[in-house]
Every structure is written in structure tokens, then in C-alpha cells.
A and B are shown apart, each in its own frame.
Chain A
Amino acid sequence: MSMQNDIVSGRAMALTENSQWRQIRELFGRAPTLIRVAGVTIAACYLIALLSPLLSPYGPADQDLLARLQPPAFLDGTWSHPLGTDHLGRDVLSRLLHALNTTLVIATLGVIVGVVTGGLAGLISGLAGRRVDGIFMLLVDAQASVPLTLLALAAVALSGSSTLVLVLIVGISDYDKYARVVRSQVLVIKNRAFVESARALGASPVRVAFRHVLPSIVSPLTVLATSNFSSVVILESALSFLGVGIQPPDTSLGAMLGEARNYLITNWWLAAIPTALIVVITMAVSLLGDWLRDLFDRRLST
């Protein structure tokens, strides 16, 4: 009997571990074509960004001043520079791949920083007493009342620009949104009977927070993270455009755009190419986020 139990309970454990992943794959298979295209696009972007050093025909900072401002291949250029060259004769394709890498790294890490800090702040705020809650919400309100670009400029002025600083800035810029959403969810969930029940059977506050409350807020947090991903990409681009983001010769999509602004009239594609990539990435992520939200909402309502 006990052996049979053992086998069955072992299977039960394996089931719960595998089933979530399988469930997600199944749901994705049934998603509308547009969503699947968006998902594949994002996956492709990450893959290309990861492999950018291998895929680039030139180094991102290699200059060739004799071949300045050449048009891309589709505008009567040559295939030696498929997307043309910029004002210093650098290969636009190579720079684009490198910029994609930088932008995705900053945006991804930024979102993670935001989710973790905002999520923790919301969790503590929702579960702790009134006084702690008050302090945290004051901080969140303060955050919402400071113009972000000003904060970013001040931070860069104080500490100098680096990828790490940029990640922290774009991450923390959004933490208030996460904190608010998580807190409101926690306030609902902490009064649910199963939380009280867990406490009645000896669960510690930390255990209640991470084992009982956190799993229930993963879905709204995921949705929020995907929708904020776009705004983080745009924020990074804006900061780099303003010159406080990525510093040359390093580059990001926004930095490329910033450099191209002097050539808008004569060489418009220099701005159009990184812009197109920004639009594609943010659209794809937003579509995926909307789909996830509808999915979770429907599952919550049934």
C-alpha cells in the first residue's frame, strides 16, 4: 500500500511540475496568428541579439570615412553594407544588431529590477501594518510626482553614465506601478480564507507572503511587466537620444536615433531603420501582454 502510494505521489509531484509549462505551450498553440507572430518575433529578436557578435559583418565601431552615408541595399546601395553606413562610415547593420543587444539587455534587466523592487515594496506594504504601509505609499507617491527625465538626468550627472546606472534608472522608473498593483492584490488576497487558514495551521508571515500570496499575484505582475517592457524600451531610447543614456562609441536603438537626427532630411533611413525596430519590438511585446491579460482575466472570471 505504501509503495503504491509512493509511486502515485511521485507521479503527482511530477505532474504538477510539468503541467504548467505544458499548459503554456498548449495555450500558445491555440493563440491567434498575430499573437504567435508576435511571440516568434520577440524570440527571434532575443536570439539575434544574443548572436549579434557572430552575425555582424563589421565591428559596430569600425569607421570607414571614405564610405560615409551610403544608402541601404534596397535604396540602390551595395550589398557590402546591406543597410548602408552612417556619418562616420560605420556599417548600420552591425550597429543595429549591437544596439538591439544593448537595448534588450537594458530593458529586460530594467523590467526585472522594476518587478522585484516594486513587487517587494507592494508585498511588504500590503502585508505589514498601517505605519509601514503609509511610508511605502508615500515613497510611491513621491516617485509618481517627480518627472522621470529629471530624475534620470540627475542620476547620470551624479554617477556618470553606465549600463548599470541605466538599468537601475529604467527599472526604478516603473517600480511605483508594480508596487501599487501588487499592494492592491495583496490587500484582497490576504483576507481570503485560505490565507487565514494557513496562518491557523502555523504558517509564518514570510511563508504566507511567498507561498500563499505571491503565486496569486504572478499573473497580474506578468501582464504589467510585458506592458511596461515597451515603455522601458522607449524610455531607454529617449534617454540615449537625449545623450544621458548609452555613450558613444557604444550604441543602442535610441542612441542610433539620436545620432541620425542631423541627417533626417538628407539620409532619412538612418533614423527610420532603428525606429522601425523599436516599433516592432514594442508592438510585439504589447500584443503579447494584452493577450496574456485577456487570458488571465478570462481564467480568473471562470
Chain B
Amino acid sequence: MTDRHDAVLRVEGLQTQFLDPKGPVNAVNGVSFEIREGETLGLLGESGSGKSTIGLSLLRLLPAGRSRIAGGRILFGDEDLVQASEERLRRLRGKDIAMIFQESLSALNPVYTVGEQIAEVIRQHERHDRRAALRRAGEILDMVGMPDSARRLGEYPHELSGGMRQRVVIAAALACQPKLLICDEPTTALDVTVQAQILDLIADIQRRTGMAVLFITHDLGVVAEVAHRAVVLYAGRVVEEADTPSLLRQPRMPYTQGLMRSLPEFAVGRRLAAIPGFVPNPRSMPSGCAFHPRCREARADCSQTVPDLTEAENGRRVRCLRWREIAHETERRGHA
């Protein structure tokens, strides 16, 4: 593990529950990871894996009364956000930690101009008059590569294209130069070409400002493009973590391997292999390893013992009883 002092964010054993009349359900079950300054961490998972819930938990934006953080710590610097007051969180949100969401069209308020929306974030956190905040908004729009930014300030969201709207959303998030940017599927609704531009933009701004980025996505291709390190989630648990090149080259956990096989980019000339079955319902989790009913490497004891997240080489972590055997086997097959 890395030196604890350069971690911008450290999540330890985070447990988030959905409350429903039949009792609490664990959506996120003991998740730990950390993000260093200037690093992009990919949080990879299918829908229902708990990845978005983690994003919302970090800023404590979970719907009140319907879900709660039941355990763990979220350390931002030395401060535990799980214990922080609502007032303190409000000052952190947008200033030190910003978050952008998937739907750029609906993430902007239709009744305000682009300039007003960016300026609003600035004025919430910094002492500026309206005019100065709008001027700053113009500079930030320039920074996110908005063509003709001065004119765009006075336009309404519906006058912009999807890609431009996403740039505005990013501009609003970056307005106060946060130390951590959480991106929840920010490019999913965009065209592939625009998607690439937005990913480049985020990477570019990160190089210039040194902010940390948590990138939540279901898309292995996006992880390959932007993330330095990736955490793979399955059913609310971390199942594998590694730096992106080794994760893509040698996935150890059968679930990650399955994800790779189901991607067209990684399966040229082969049949695409879907992972059979569905993500388990958190109400009725399978015994043992949550993935075993869908796992093609599963053995008898996989349904009895819950595997630990074990340390492997180069800071990699794997949650699988048989990862050593599987690693040997894959290497043998690779050599043959």
C-alpha cells in the first residue's frame, strides 16, 4: 500500500444500506480503496454492483430516510466524512469535492443561463459579486474548451449540444478547483467521438491541476482509456483491484476475466462471451462467493466460503479462493 499521507481520499470498509420495510439491505458491503493526488481511479461494475451508491455515499448525498451509511470511514485528508456535519459537507461539496452525473441534459437547470449556473457554484463558495463570478465562469468555460465561450454564457442549456452541455457541467464542477472530482458515468449518454473528447478534457485538466479523479463506469474501454488504477465491484464488494495495464493484461478474478471476454475490443476474431446469469438480488445473496453461481471456475467450496480480498503482486488485490490456481493455468495456457 502507498504512503497514507498522499492519499486524497481513503475509503475504509464502507457499508451502505438501503432501508426498506423488510429490513436493511446491504448495497455496498465493506468497500475500501484510496485515491492519490493526480490519480484517476476507475470504479468498474455492472448496474446493481453498488458503484453509483458509493459515489453518492462519498458526498453523503444518499436519499435520506431510504438509505444510510452503516459503517466504515471516508477519510478526506484527515477528516472522516461519515462523521462530518451537514453544514461542513455543504461547504465541501463543489469546493473540495465535486461530482458530475451521467445526464448532462438534465443536470443543468433549464431556467437559468449557462453563465448563471457556473457563477452560482462560485458564489456559493467564494466571495464574488455577480459580475466577477460571471467573468470567472467565462474563464472556466474557456478552460473546458468551450468555443465562443463569451457568447455561451448568456445561452440556455437547450441551446447547446449534448457535448457542450457536458462541458458546462464539467465547468460548473471545476469552478472552485476541487481536489477530488467524482464522475458518475459522465460520458455514457454521449456519442463516441464526443465521449473521447470529454475523456481527454478531464485527463488534460487533471494534468494541469493535479486533482484526483474517481471515475465510476460500467465501461471497461473507458477505464482502459482514463484510469491509472481500477477497482472492480461485484454485488457491493471489491473483487479485484490493480493498476489498469496489469488488470487488462492479466485479470485474475474470473469476473474480471468474464468482463474482458464480453468486450468486442478484447475479443477480436473470437466469439463474444457473455457472462451467464444476472447480478444477484441483494436480498438473497448466494452463499459463499457472491459470483460463484455465474463463475465458470467455481468449485464446491466456492459456495461455502466467502473469499477474502487477498493481496497479490504489485499492490493487486483479488477476491477469489482459487486465484492462484487460475493464474497458473492462464499463464500455462498463455505459454502453450
With A and B bound together, what is the CA distance between A226 and B121 in angstroms? Answer: 35
Q: Does B92 contact A (CB under 8 A)?
A: yes
Interface string of A1-28 (1 = CB under 8 A from B): 0101110111111011000000000000
Q: Does A261 contact B (CB under 8 A)?
A: no
A6's partner among B109, B110, B135 (CB-CB below 8 A) is B135
A-B contact sample (5 more), CB < 8 A, given A8-B138, A197-B107, A202-B95: A8-B154, A9-B134, A197-B108, A200-B59, A204-B90
Tell me the nearest residue of chain A to B138, going by C-beta: A5
Q: Does B99 contact A (CB under 8 A)?
A: yes
Q: Given A193-B106, A193-B107, A201-B173, is A12 in contact with B121 using a C-beta cutoff of 8 Å?
A: no
A5 & B150 in contact (Cβ 8 Å cutoff):
yes
Residues of A contacting B91 in the complex (Cβ-Cβ under 8 angstroms): 202
Whole-angstrom distance between the Cβ of B262 and the nearest chain A Cβ: 29
Residues of B contacting A32 in the complex (Cβ-Cβ under 8 angstroms): none
Q: List which A203-237 residues lie within 8 A (CB) of chain B.
A: 203-204, 207, 211-212, 215-216
Q: Given A12-B113, A12-B153, is A201 in contact with B101 using a C-beta cutoff of 8 Å?
A: no
Stretch from B34-42, B123-131, B265-273, B315-323 that touches the partner: B123-131
B93 & A130 in contact (Cβ 8 Å cutoff):
no
Which DSSP category, helix, strand, loop or mixed, fits chain A's interface? helix
Q: Does A156 contact B (CB under 8 A)?
A: no
B103 & A193 in contact (Cβ 8 Å cutoff):
yes
A200 & B94 in contact (Cβ 8 Å cutoff):
yes
Whole-angstrom distance between the Cβ of A119 and the nearest chain B Cβ: 17
Tell me the nearest residue of chain B to A200, going by C-beta: B99
B103 & A9 in contact (Cβ 8 Å cutoff):
no
Residues of B contacting A201 in the complex (Cβ-Cβ under 8 angstroms): 93-94, 98-99, 121, 124, 172-173
A12 & B154 in contact (Cβ 8 Å cutoff):
yes
Enumerate the 8 nearest inter-chain pairs by beta-carbon distance, A residue then B residue, closest first: A12-B154, A201-B94, A202-B94, A193-B106, A202-B93, A200-B99, A8-B150, A9-B134
Q: Does A129 contact B (CB under 8 A)?
A: yes
With A and B bound together, what is the CA distance between A4 and B101 in angstroms? Answer: 32
Q: Does B144 contact A (CB under 8 A)?
A: no
Whole-angstrom distance between the Cβ of B160 and the nearest chain A Cβ: 14
Whole-angstrom distance between the Cβ of A41 and the nearest chain B Cβ: 31
Tally of A interface residues using CB under 8 Å: 31
Tell me the nearest residue of chain A to B158, going by C-beta: A302
A194 & B109 in contact (Cβ 8 Å cutoff):
yes
Interface footprint category on B: 35 or more
Q: Given A12-B153, A16-B154, A212-B109, is A193 in contact with B135 using a C-beta cutoff of 8 Å?
A: no
Q: Does A141 contact B (CB under 8 A)?
A: no
B131 & A6 in contact (Cβ 8 Å cutoff):
yes
Q: Does B111 contact A (CB under 8 A)?
A: yes
Residues of B contacting A197 in the complex (Cβ-Cβ under 8 angstroms): 99-101, 107-108, 169, 172
Residues of B contacting A6 in the complex (Cβ-Cβ under 8 angstroms): 131, 135
B93 & A199 in contact (Cβ 8 Å cutoff):
yes
With A and B bound together, what is the CA distance between A254 and B64 in angstroms? Answer: 50
Q: Does A196 contact B (CB under 8 A)?
A: yes
Residues of B contacting A10 in the complex (Cβ-Cβ under 8 angstroms): 131
A200's partner among B98, B106, B135 (CB-CB below 8 A) is B98
With A and B bound together, what is the CA distance between A151 and B175 in angstroms? Answer: 54
Residues of B contacting A202 in the complex (Cβ-Cβ under 8 angstroms): 90-95, 121, 124-125
A5 & B61 in contact (Cβ 8 Å cutoff):
no
A129's partner among B65, B92, B103, B110 (CB-CB below 8 A) is B65
A13 & B106 in contact (Cβ 8 Å cutoff):
no
Q: Does A198 contact B (CB under 8 A)?
A: yes
Q: Does B328 contact A (CB under 8 A)?
A: no
A196 & B135 in contact (Cβ 8 Å cutoff):
no
Residues of A contacting B219 in the complex (Cβ-Cβ under 8 angstroms): none
With A and B bound together, what is the CA distance between A199 and B94 in angstroms? Answer: 9
With A and B bound together, what is the CA distance between A193 and B105 in angstroms? Answer: 9
Q: Does B251 contact A (CB under 8 A)?
A: no
Q: Does B151 contact A (CB under 8 A)?
A: yes
Q: Does B116 contact A (CB under 8 A)?
A: yes
Interface string of B60-104 (1 = CB under 8 A from A): 010011000000000000000000000000111111001111110
With A and B bound together, what is the CA distance between A70 and B34 in angstroms? Answer: 92
